Structures are given as C-alpha cells and as structure tokens.
Amino acid sequence: MKNLRSRLQLIFTSLIILAIIVWAGVFSSYKADSASNLKIYFLNVGQGDSEYIKLPYGQDILIDGGPDNSVLSELGKVMAFGDREINLVVLTHPHADHISGLVEVLKRYKVDEVWESGVDYPSSVYDTWKTEISAQKIPDQFVTIGTQKTFDNINFKVLYPLSSLKNSKIDNANNASVVTELDFNQFSALFTGDLEKTVQPEIYDKLHAVTVLKVDHHGSTNGTDDNWLKILRPAVAVIEVGYNNTYGHPAPSTIDLLKSYAAQIYRTDQDGTIEIESDGVNWVVK
C-alpha cells in the first residue's frame, strides 16, 4: 500500500512538472509590450464606442469616436507622443454615441482614409462630419462586404453591410453598422458596432470563432443572442458602456449569456480603457 501511494505521488508530481513545461513553452516566445505585437484599446469614452488599434509596424485604425471629445484625451494616453496621423478611421454608423468624437478627431489628426456605410441619416453632427471630410479631401470609402485592407501580415475586412447603403434611408441606423474583422495569424477580433440580432443571421455564414468580440450595442438585449455566440464563441467579450447609464446597459441577460460561453467579460464602465495585446498566437488583457 505504501509503495502504491509513493508511485501515485510520483506520477502526480510528474504530471504537474509536465504541465509547467508545456505552459512555459507556450508563453516563452510571447513578449509583452514588444514592438511587433498588435494592441487593441477599447477606449473609455462613456456611453458610446471607440476602439483604437495599433498595428505591429506602426499603422493604426480608429473605429468610432464615442459621444463627445473625451476620445481625444483617451487617444493621448495610448498613441505615441507626437503622433498626429491615423491611417484609417471607421465610422460604424452615424448615431451620436459613435460619431460625435470623430468630428474633432478629423480636425486634430491627419486622417489618411475613412470607411463608412454612407447611409442617409438626418443629423447635424453627421452633416459636420461630411463637411470636414470634404474640406480636408480625405478619401471616403462607402464600404460593403469584401472591402479589405492588408497591413503586412494583418488583414482587416468588412463583413457587413452586404450591399451598398450609400444615400439609403433605413428605419434603424444600428442595422447600417459597418462590421469589421481583424485577423492576425491565430488571433482575431470582431468589431460589431450596434448591429442588432434581427439582421445578424444575414452574416452567420461569414463568421467563425474569434478571440475577441466587441459586444454589440453596449450589451443590450437586442444585440446578442445564443445563435450569435454559438458561432463566435469569443474567448474575450468587451462591452463599451457608460457608468450608471440610463439605458440599463449591459442587460443582465446578456451578461449571463456571455458567462454561459465561458467568455472573459470586460466592461469600460468598470475596468476603464481595456488593452488587449497579441503576438498573433498568444494574447493578454491589460
């Protein structure tokens, strides 16, 4: 009996050592803060969306700008000192909580290119946005599925809308959201704007499991359902939402659903700006 116990202890100890060696091997090549790493920042801009992506070779992408000019101070924290150029700005849709901060970004930074759906939306802020783009002669692309841009070994592509919405009138601008996916070797991130679950089935066949999901519509009940998550199965789910907001975002049912898929959940109202860094294989949330 004593020999059996000793042998079992030896086996157990060996398994622990083996596990440590395996995990050490997985992470030994990962270097945090390496210049060759991808960094995604989900900016704390209150009740709105804004994501800043710093690519490994210095290019950058800004998706949405939040409800006010707080995006400027947030960018100041994550962009390199003296960097006044953004390679690509994406407006998912022209609701105020996504576009307002972008107007000032256009004024303060050199923007090389803009992507948007071009949907017809009556808004003074949206009118100012279009005027500023025209005045600065910024290339403005009205994107649809298939639009993509490659930055070295990173691909950034549009999954929605499925057809041109330029000058189109739709009842719900949320469903004109430009949905984009970033792929970096084995790491991927899906940026969903406010696309609602009534139209999400239109792109089910374009989706796959992702590392990071920007949760639709601030975690509201109309942005996430079981069918959506069955396909995406995110390792990390980020909810951009304002503290103590009047909408009740995120919905408790959405949180419960994300937990049922064992996703790590982060919220800007609780965690502030969230940084995810990846070398294309491994990743870390800061």
Q: Report pLDDT for 14.
A: 44
Q: Could you identify the residue written with the tokens 């999954």? A: 159
Domain 32-285 sits in CATH at 3.60.15.10
pLDDT in tens, 154-163: 999 999 999 9
pTM (2 d.p.): 0.89
Burial class (CB in 10 A: 0-12, 13-18, 19+), 84: exposed
**SS3 for 99-163, per residue?**
HHHHHHHHHHCEECCEEECCCCCCCHHHHHHHHHHHHHCCCEEECCCCCEEEECCEEEEEEECCC
pLDDT at position 105 over 60: yes
Domain ranges of the chain: 1-30, 32-285
Q: What is the mean pLDDT of residues 57-62?
A: 95
